[in-house]
Homo-oligomer: A and B are copies of this chain.
Amino acid sequence: MTDNTKTLLYKKIIGLTEITQSGVDKLFAVACKRQIFKGEIILKQGQICRNIVFVEKGYLRTFIDKDGVDINTDFTFEDNFTTNLKSLRSSIPSDTTIQAGETATIYEFDKEELLNLYKVSPEIESFGRKLLEQLLITQEEHTNLFKLFTPTGRYHFLQTNKPQIIQRISLSQISSYLGVARETLSRIRKKG
């Protein structure tokens, strides 16, 4: 990875955990860097997920095929990690597909290699745990959106808390992420 990316990632992670520069180095030593094009799929529904992915550039879209229609469950932007944990953990077929929303640069971390790293480096296992904590907190907040707010409130939440989604994802794609029809979201946007 580039020194610049390393620095950015370091800043990102340092807020998350106490990992050292040498820890970041060890971590990325087992990573596989890859360029993917817009629309390219890195995990397909039905396949078994074998790695965790870090996004350096571009973004990934995670979705479930429900009766032939895509339902978006997540968007992963620069300096964030994603995977299908259920599949990764138990080696069962993934219920989601992960696809590049733009041409992207990613790093793939193989599960087995990560587990080996965990064994020899408490620092990296700690990092793994804290990453999970972060993901869980984000997921809880996302769930609460549906319990606390109406569709309008959910959209406003994204506007103030996840501006990247509003700015970079099309209205149609956002609608399933918020659990509403495309037309409803269009009306919400019209209102302001």
Contacts of A132 in B (CB 8 A): 129, 132-133, 136
The distance in angstroms between the C-alpha atoms of A75 and B89, with both chains bound, is 24
Considering only CB atoms, which chain B residue lies closest to A67 in the complex? B148
Assuming A122-B125, A125-B129, A147-B176, what are 8 further A-B pairs, CB within 8 angstroms? A64-B147, A71-B148, A73-B143, A73-B147, A85-B137, A89-B137, A139-B143, A143-B146
**Shortest Cβ distance from residue A45 to the other chain B in the assembled complex, whole angstroms:** 13
The distance in angstroms between the C-alpha atoms of A142 and B86, with both chains bound, is 13
Interface residue ranges, A against B (CB under 8 Å) = 64, 66, 71-73, 85-86, 89, 118-119, 122, 125-126, 128-129, 132-133, 135-137, 139-140, 142-144, 146-148, 176-177, 179
**Shortest Cβ distance from residue A97 to the other chain B in the assembled complex, whole angstroms:** 14
Contacts of A66 in B (CB 8 A): 148
Contacts of A72 in B (CB 8 A): 147
Is B147 a contact of A177 with CB atoms below 8 Å? yes
Contacts of A146 in B (CB 8 A): 143, 146, 179
